[in-house]
Amino acid sequence: MIGEHSLFGPVDPAAEAGYVDPPARKGFFTDTSVCIGCKACEVACKEWNEIPDDGFSLTGMSYDNTVSLSANTWRHVAFVEQPAAPAAATDGAGTVDLGMPGPPPPTSPEGAQATEELPDFRWLMSSDVCKHCTHAACLDVCPTGSLFRTEFGTVVVQPDICNGCGYCVPACPYGVIERRTGPEGAKNVGIAQKCTLCYDRIGDGQRPACAQACPTESIQYGDVDELRERAKARVEQLHEAGVMDARLYGADPDDGVGGAGAFFLLLDEPEVYGLPPDPVVTTRDLPHMFRRASAAAAALLVGAAVAFAGRRG
């Protein structure tokens, strides 16, 4: 059942937070099928938000040097290397033209020789970010009000109010938010940090820095309802092109977080990209748990009172 201030279900997050006549909800649609892994979004995010670097050292496992989202990485570009899909998986052609730069298709005359040199793997690249959930567990558990819902439906940390308790860190079903531990001299050390969807920019009518910097428009910013329609149309386009693995992630208002404000078009299962397959807001069952615990406490109290009365009698 969905009621006032419910912890699950499709709702308007800004209106639910108490805003009167709020603007349209803003968010991201990240189309991973056109991501080229340039990391322009990471750099733009760090520059605009004055986020310290992560150390410039490669992991030894891929070209990814930031590994995951963290207090010092609010946008993370994942590099996933996979064996090339068999021909049967791409409607017999072996490859599907997504309009990306690369060698000519093997069916073309100029591509006949290039076919022998094609790699036997493919890259899946995706720019991950805070999901700005409709039902944000990090916001629910924050004891100081440092995390708040903006009029655009996004979730933002106020560093001057955060006490560094860290309750929000395990509450996030995506593992997005984290307390900053360094480097030495960095601002907001010990404070929870994550993407703000450039609250200071969108309030002035500008696009977030990452979307502004993306050269392929893999990161699209706008009204969430419009982005969802655009995303559905893109999936249909890819299906018609033979890319049957294309699917949306986080765009369903009936999912475990009430739909994400930042959602994705993926070309494989969410786990391949390091995303949970079925995320659920971790505070969803708190009212039910509280009622059960209260009933148990009341039963214990009654039992203790009866036992005490029996002894006196």
pLDDT in tens, 155-188: 999 999 999 999 999 999 999 999 999 888 899 9
Is 142 annotated for ligand binding?
yes
Is 210 annotated for ligand binding?
yes
> Which of the four pLDDT bands, split at 50, 70 and 90, describes residue 38?
very high
Is 172 annotated for ligand binding?
yes
Is 251 annotated for ligand binding?
no
Work out the end-to-end distance of the chain between its first and last CA atoms, rounded to an integer number of angstroms: 47
Q: In this model, does residue 304 exceed pLDDT 90?
A: no
Is 287 annotated for ligand binding?
no
In this structure, are 307 and 183 located in the same domain? no
In this structure, are 131 and 19 located in the same domain? yes
Is 17 annotated for ligand binding?
no
The mean pLDDT value of the chain amounts to 86
Task: Report d(CA 25, CA 13) in Å as an integer.
Answer: 8
Count of domains in the chain? 2
Is 41 annotated for ligand binding?
yes
Closest C-alpha to 138, from 23, 266, 279, 250: 279
In this structure, are 309 and 264 located in the same domain? no
In this structure, are 138 and 176 located in the same domain? yes
In this structure, are 67 and 149 located in the same domain? yes
Task: Report d(CA 85, CA 87) in Å as an integer.
Answer: 7
Give residue 54's Cα distance to chain centre. 20
In this structure, are 43 and 129 located in the same domain? yes
Is 45 annotated for ligand binding?
yes
Name residue 126's beta-bridge partners: 78
In this structure, are 273 and 298 located in the same domain? no
Contact 61, 55 (CB under 8 A): no
In this structure, are 125 and 222 located in the same domain? yes
In this structure, are 134 and 275 located in the same domain? yes
Does residue 137 form part of some domain? yes
pTM above 0.85, yes or no: no
- Residue 56 confidence (pLDDT): 73
In this structure, are 137 and 249 located in the same domain? yes
- Identify the domain containing residue 303 by its residue range: 284-313
Is 35 annotated for ligand binding?
yes
Is 188 annotated for ligand binding?
no
In this structure, are 189 and 293 located in the same domain? no
Name residue 125's beta-bridge partners: 79
